[in-house]
Chain A
Amino acid sequence: MNKKTNWPVTTLLIVGTLLILIPLYLTITIAFKTPQEMAGNLLALPKSWSFDNFTQAIEMTNFFSALGNTVFVTVFVVIFTVLTNSLVAYAIARNMHKKAYKFLFYYFVSAMFIPFPIIMLPIVKQTAAWGMDNLVGLIILYVVFNLSFNTFIYVGYIRSIPKELEEAAVIDGASTWGVFWRVIFPLLAPMNATVAIITCLGAWNDFMLPLVMLSDRDMATLPLVQYIFQSQFSTDYNLAFASYLMALAPMIIVYIFAQKWIISGVMKGSIK
């Protein structure tokens, strides 16, 4: 067995990380610099690490309100998506031999190919007319739209779970409902993790749906706040970068602690 470390490849990969780390390094250092320091070497470290840019950016973007909105939307979207989408996929997966359920499967999955712009204009009219142009409306839309992709990956996984497991539970007197929550849902844990990660990133970073749907500025999510901020104060880079950094930081912190889990979660989702 050849177990020797491949140093040329290791070196190339390390050099390659600069392409990812330099933009992040710039983001962090510029966020701490003063406008005067921007005239010098951009790669230099700030002379003093001051938090003034951050306090000012927090005030100007109403940061905590945006953070709260984003957390609220993301948490509920993840919870409802995992609970409902897995249930729907279960109902479909166990009845695929029936025409109606087979139709439902292809109906959801084929909707993946409908680009958002085609429903963008009507959905805005519709949600505004029904008083859904708010965060709750946003949550409902994400959960429903997620059905397309999640049905696809959950159904594939559920069909690989042997039916005997459920039959045993049924003999013990469990209802379909009980079988799902006590037997199937726990078995779906790896898939639930994958769906939760992908859903979380999708809801946290989405810009287009909040942009077209939310009219009230108090409801703005983090990406939307950056957009409004950028178009109004584009000249003060230090302030802008402090604001970007604060918007990116929560996910980066989560990633640092959970990266192993996140990477394997996404990989699992892709193998199916």
Chain B
Amino acid sequence: MKKKNSVYMLIAIPAFILFFIFHTYPTLQGIFYSFTDWKGYGDWSFVGIKNYLNVFKDERALDAYGFTFKFAIISTILVNIFSLLVAMGLNGKIKFQKTLRAIYFLPYILSILIVGFIFNFIFTHFLPGIGESLGIEFLSKNILGDPKLAWLGIVLVAVWQSVAFNTILYLAGLVTISEDIYEAASIDGAGVWTKFWKITFPLIAPFFTINMVLAMKGFLMVFDQIVALTGGGPGKSTESISLLIYRGGFEGGEFAYQSANAVIYFIVIVVISIIQLKFLEKREVEN
């Protein structure tokens, strides 16, 4: 019995040490630096919570939070609507089911960065080209060049890419629902709408919860799409929090200041995830 324990320890202890060195220690360092004025090089001294106070007064940071929230909330809602619809369609009695599934899941395997570059071209050349030839004014200009509309382009690409993964999750939930329940409901005279709200939606509630939380968490960390589509522009209109921390920390000599921003960002993500989980799980139980 004793020997058996030592084998488990021999596995668990190195894992713990490695994880501590490469994940927890850098996290603690990040928190530590957030209380200093370190630029990433040279001398430093403690400045207390000054960095934190400054983040709240920093218009660039507040704008980044505003943009990131707007983007994440809208994208989360859209992704969940579309992926649930696609999943229900793919789970139905359709022709070419395998081929259609394969196509709808394809974006999941593609690099977000490269997809972003491709859509960058579509927004700057392809759509305006179509818009001009059809005489549609809204399409004729590049929305990525408009500070008021550029965020829409990023939402579109983010949704295009993530619908695939969320569809897989919803489909995993839908295939567990037995066909008999729907047939029983049909005999009782339930319509499509009633069947969705009374059967489908309650039964896949746990999948809805996990999709909402994962999508929101993922979108709050948006980075690749923005680098590929707008680089944070025009101006600073599409600068996300991740991009701001990256830019300020590596290019702007704001190592300590952006560390404070990162800590705030971490707290925000955890709080939002917990609220979502509590709220959505409560709904699950009520159903």
Q: A residues touching B (Cβ–Cβ < 8 Å)?
A: 2-7, 9-10, 12-14, 16-17, 19-21, 23-24, 26-27, 30, 42, 84, 87-88, 90-92, 94-95, 100-101, 104, 107-108, 111, 113-126, 140-141, 144-145, 147-148, 175-177, 201, 204-205, 207-208, 212, 222-223, 226-227, 230, 237, 240-241, 244, 247-248, 251-252, 254-255, 259-260, 262-263, 266-268, 270-271
Contact = CB atoms under 8 A, between A and B. Distances in A.
A10 B89 CA distance: 8
A83 to B, nearest CB: 12
Nearest to B7: A176
B61 to A, nearest CB: 13
B190 interface: no
6 contacts: A13-B104, A115-B221, A175-B3, A204-B111, A252-B109, A267-B175
Contacts of B227: 207, 227
Contact of B117 (A4, A176, A240): A240
Interface in B1-58: 3-4, 7-8, 11-12, 15-16, 18-19, 22-27, 29-31, 33, 40
A108 B12 contact: no
A9 B27 CA distance: 49
Contact of B8 (A4, A42, A114, A176): A176
Contacts of B31: 118
B22 A230 contact: no
B172 A271 contact: yes
Contacts of A237: 121, 125
The interface residues of chain B, by DSSP majority, are classed as helix
B242 interface: yes
Contacts of A176: 3-4, 7-8
Given A121-B33, A227-B227, A205 B92 contact: no
A20 B111 contact: no
B95 to A, nearest CB: 5
A30 to B, nearest CB: 8
A122 to B, nearest CB: 4
Given A88-B11, A115-B269, A207-B223, 5 more contacts: A9-B92, A30-B121, A91-B15, A113-B270, A119-B30
**A24, A87, A118, A252 pick with most chain B CB within 10 angstroms:** A118
A93 B118 CA distance: 44
B106 interface: yes
Contacts of B114: 223, 226, 244, 247-248
Contact of B107 (A3, A5, A20, A111): A20
B282 interface: no
B97 to A, nearest CB: 9
B126 A14 contact: no
Nearest to A208: B223
Contacts of B26: 119, 122-123, 126
A270 B90 contact: no
Interface residues of B, number: 87
B119 to A, nearest CB: 7
Contacts, number: 244
Nearest to B12: A91
Contacts of B210: 270
B250 interface: yes
B95 A10 contact: yes
A125 B12 CA distance: 27
A222 B111 contact: yes
Contacts of B119: 23
B172 A207 contact: no
Given A91-B11, A121-B40, A145-B22, A17 B104 contact: yes
B15 A147 contact: yes
Interface string B115-130: 1011101100110010
B242 A115 contact: yes
A26 B269 contact: no
Interface stretch (B73-81, B135-143, B194-202, B255-263): B255-263
3 pairs of A and B residues whose beta carbons are closest in the complex: A122-B29, A122-B26, A119-B26
Nearest to B114: A244
Contacts of B242: 115-117, 208
Contacts of B245: 117, 120-121
Interface in B154-194: 160, 165, 168-169, 171-172, 175-176
B110 interface: yes
Contacts of B129: 42
B118 A23 contact: yes
